[in-house]
Amino acid sequence: MILLVTSSQRAPECAAGLHEATGEEVAVAESLARAATLLRAEGYLAVVLDQYLVETEPHEAGNTLEHLGMAILVQVNLAISGVERVVREVRAALQRRQREEIRARQAVIGRLRSELNDTITALLLSSELALETPGLPAAAAEKIEAVHELVKKIRRQLENACPIGDAETAASTPGIV
């Protein structure tokens, strides 16, 4: 959902354009106080804020911005910007957010994969060394071999679950256009 914050008479036209372009529901707040209330009550994908309100009510603007949460802030000047320009700016902001999320996801997957690979390698090495212990009872050797096979299975599952190309595929997947 997108929150459009403006006292402009063009709010309905702008809200309709944003809805049509993004497919997101658009709520309109005619004041910063109302916007703060809505932001406290619900999460938004983006907040489109008319600069006029920021300039005329700077204290209230600061209060409203404190409640953005994860929403993307897009400041516009509806006095001089047409609906098409507002739509372009919101689309661009949403696309930037999507790319940032993909990059963050890729970084987390990479770190997790690296950490798990280190642990898996250590487990494989330790179990192989344990199997080479002289005088190892057969029952213990069987259990260590079972652990070794399970660790190899985990390694295969990790490789299949997180192929390197997935992140690239996700990055090229069209989102909000």
Q: Number of folded domains in the chain?
A: 2
26 plus 75 within the same structural domain: yes
d(CA 36, CA 146): 59
DSSP string, 81-139: --HHHHHHHHHHHHHHHHHHHHHHHHHHHHHHHHHHHHHHHHHHHHHHHHHT-TT--HH
User: Does residue 92 sit within a domain?
Assistant: no
Residue 89 lies in a domain: no
- For residues 77 and 107, membership in a common domain is answered with no
Judgement on whether residues 119 and 152 belong to the same structural domain of the protein: yes
Report the chain's mean pLDDT, rounded to a whole number.
88
Q: How far apart are CA 162 and CA 110, in angstroms?
A: 9
Any domain includes 55: yes
* Longest CA–CA separation in the chain, Å: 87
96-155: pLDDT as tens digits: 999 999 999 999 988 988 889 999 999 999 999 999 999 999 999 999 999 999 999 999
Q: Which residue has the tokens 């999460």?
A: 43
| Residues spanned by the domain of 121 | 102-172
Please check the confidence at residue 13 and state whether its pLDDT lies above 90: yes
Same domain, 77 and 111: no
Q: Both 77 and 135 in a single domain?
A: no
Q: Count Cα neighbours of 100 within 13 Å in the Cβ-side half-sphere.
A: 8
pLDDT on residue 162: 60
The answer to whether residue 86 is domain-embedded is no
In a domain, 96, yes or no: no
- How would you class 105 by CB atoms within 10 Å of its CB: exposed for 0-12, middle for 13-18, buried for 19 or more? middle
Do 75 and 138 sit in the same domain of this protein? no
Give the rounded percent of residues in the chain with a pLDDT score beyond 70: 91
Please report whether residue 112 resides in a domain: yes
Rounded to a whole number of angstroms, the CA Rg of the chain reads 27
Q: Is residue 97 part of a domain?
A: no
My answer on whether 20 and 64 are in the same domain is yes
pTM score: 0.66
* CATH number of the domain where residue 44 is located: 3.40.50
Q: Are residues 60 and 19 in the same domain?
A: yes
Same-domain pairing of 144 and 107: yes
Q: How confident is the model at residue 161 (pLDDT cuts 50, 70, 90)?
A: confident
- The verdict on residue 119 lying in a domain is yes
